[in-house]
Chains A and B, each alone.
Chain A
Amino acid sequence: MIRPDAPLLLEIRDLTARVEDQPILKGVSLTIRAGEIHAVMGRNGSGKSTLSKVLAGHPAYTVTGGTVLYKGDDLLSLEPELRARAGLFLGFQYPVEIPGVSNLEFLRVATNARRAGKGEEELDTFAFEDLVRERLQVVQMDPAFLERSVNEGFSGGEKKRNEILQMALLEPLVAVLDETDSGLDIDALRIVAGGVNHLAGPDNATLLITHYQRLLDVITPDYVHVMAAGRILRTGGKELALELEERGYDWVDAELAALDRTPAEVG
């Protein structure tokens, strides 16, 4: 839902970042207001996953330039946990397995950290169990998964459901979902996408990072951004995703080649 007067949640300006010595992001700009759903599409290696990790504060990535404002404040100076407590959520492409740590305990600790960030009281184990059982329905997840170690031995679909369950518990203002559709069969995709739609509201925003159109068949984006070689090449509405689906990514390469020639001739 686009409302020009909605509060600004995320303003990314000329963001550049590298991993080790390899520049990945080469000047990304993106503005997200409350109520909006954005999709960033692009080929593997275009930098879209890096963008999500940089926003969440992954230590392997170094920001080399640009700014990111979250609700008007500098995001990049915050530790990852403080970004999360402030309401930024990253749904992982490959959720991490943590043997020996119970999923229920993990969810409770995380939920209470976020609640503290919102100035709310921590939930005791009983109150939390009530909450988690209610939120399980958002992703139609079997409560048995609460008793297991975090993501350990979960199927791809179960891991993604567990991600959306976390999102349902943490109630983020900005949810960045990195390839949430990857590795999902049609049923799991529908359930996960249903969860995302259920949680999207006028006060929060969603940034979907995806390779394929099929996720956007079930979650309708307000904006679609095409990313290549660490930049956003083009921004449009949902029809841009359909165009990509039809024409493939080849035209992106052509556009990129043209773009790369220009600065070379100048410089």
Chain B
Amino acid sequence: MVAASLSTPTALAGAGPGSWVAALLANATGGASAGADALAASRARAAQALAQLPVPTRRVEAWRFTDLAPLTALSPTLLSPAPAAQPETAARSLRLVLDGHSDPLAGISLPAGLEPIGGDELTNTLGQVLAATGSCELWPVLLNGATARNVLALRVRGPVATTLELVSDAGDGEGILPLRLLLVLEPEASLEVLQVHRSSGANLTSVVLEARLGEGAELRHGLLAPGAETGCLLATVAVEQATGSRYSGVSAHGGWALGRLEPRLVQREGAAHSALKALQLADGRQISDTHSQMVFEGPDGRLEQLHKAVADGQGRSVFNGAVQVPRAAQRTDAAQLSRNLLLSDRARIDTKPELEIVADDVRCAHGATVSRLEQDELFYLQSRGIAADQAARLLLRGFCEEVLQDLPEAARPWQPLASLLGEQGR
């Protein structure tokens, strides 16, 4: 429906990222369906804000190491990917395919505990978690808000035994695939979600997930995004947690010309548990970026964060881990560790913890390591007859598996390691 209205994309009016946004907005807002869907009002607001916001350059702190050039080189049109081949679905897993325009729930019967959110409730709820996590004005969020045509919005009651798989494959088409997701977990609800985003061409997958966790709710969240040499990924995961809730996010992305993940968590009254475990890979001339933000707005909150990165070739890995512990957040217990593997002289790793601690009775640990493969580990493997290159591969896989093994079971058919290391045919 959207694709049809985009058969004549507006050409670039001139050079520069600003005109790229203008062209994109013209293409995204044009067409007969504009205004016809539930997102129209919020889309118009986002478009207006996006038009006024300069495209971030490396002079902006949050983008200091991350050049958006690969993105603004893409065609400023909306993409409607064709259905792509997929692996078998894992047992006890429900797969919903997101293509940006059709209803992913069409013809699907949702398992007990899941129901769609629509109408006024959707209009009222959408964007609230973004606001709570201070994400509304982020450029990738505005870009998503200004272009997304629909939203997958689900309410979760009680424990849901089925893993929800939310998958997209931008394929080899050109343009932008905006995906918008909303999950509302009622108190004591629990759910496992796996996002899988793939691409094989010059396109952008823009995804924004908002998740609200009621008291005592639990969300186990995996995000697997093996990319394409020319593709871009901008993923925002905004999570608002009530007391006693548990959020556990495991993510892995790599292989994108530009891949950036922004997990933004807030514990509204503290006393919740948040865990972030991430792996990112950058080879060739790729950029892999994670900007995470954790805000404790009340006491007794916990965070466990492990961020791992591998940079090879001329790849560039960026990690910025913000943790805010204001005065109200006494007895916060937060630990952040950034572990980086530098495999080439021309690769680059930038890693930065960013702790703002005002409360005085807290435990906030952070650390960062950058190293090559450990000589002692290599020698140990070699001394068992394993050739140096095979030993290096084993160690690299081991480094990655420490994160990947915590992805939801449903990730297994997607072959996380092989897909991220580019070891499988598509």
Contacts and interface: CB of A to CB of B under 8 A. Distances in A.
A106 B381 contact: yes
B146 to A, nearest CB: 41
Contacts of B390: 109
Interface size class of A (residues with CB under 8 A): 20 to 34
Interface in B376-401: 376-377, 379-388, 390-391, 394-395, 397-401
B52 interface: no
Contact of B394 (A59, A79, A109): A109
Contacts of B383: 56-57, 80-81, 83-84, 89-90, 92
Contact of A57 (B375, B381, B382, B400): B382
A85 B395 contact: no
- Main secondary structure on chain B at its contact with chain A? helix
B380 A101 contact: no
Contact of B380 (A60, A95, A114, A117): A95
Contacts of B375: 59-60
B349 to A, nearest CB: 19
Given A59-B379, A92-B380, A96-B380, A101 B397 contact: yes
Given A58-B379, A59-B379, A109-B390, A101 B384 contact: no
Given A59-B375, A98-B395, A101-B395, A84 B384 contact: yes
Contacts of B394: 98, 101, 105-106, 109
Given A81-B388, A106-B394, A109-B394, A100 B401 contact: yes
B354 interface: no
B376 A170 contact: no
B384 A79 contact: no
A79 B382 contact: yes
Contact of B387 (A56, A81, A166): A81
B360 interface: no
B397 A106 contact: no
Nearest to B402: A100
A113 interface: yes
A99 interface: yes
B397 A114 contact: no
Contact of A110 (B376, B384, B400): B384
A182 interface: no
Contacts of B399: 99-100
A29 interface: no
15 contacts: A79-B382, A81-B386, A81-B388, A83-B383, A90-B383, A96-B379, A98-B380, A99-B398, A100-B400, A101-B397, A101-B398, A105-B394, A113-B385, A114-B384, A170-B385
Interface of B: 374-377, 379-388, 390-391, 394-395, 397-402, 405
Q: Which 7 A-B pairs have the closest CB atoms?
A: A100-B398, A113-B385, A110-B384, A84-B385, A101-B398, A100-B401, A96-B380
Given A100-B405, A101-B401, 12 more contacts: A56-B383, A84-B383, A89-B383, A92-B380, A92-B383, A99-B398, A100-B401, A106-B381, A110-B385, A113-B384, A113-B386, A170-B384
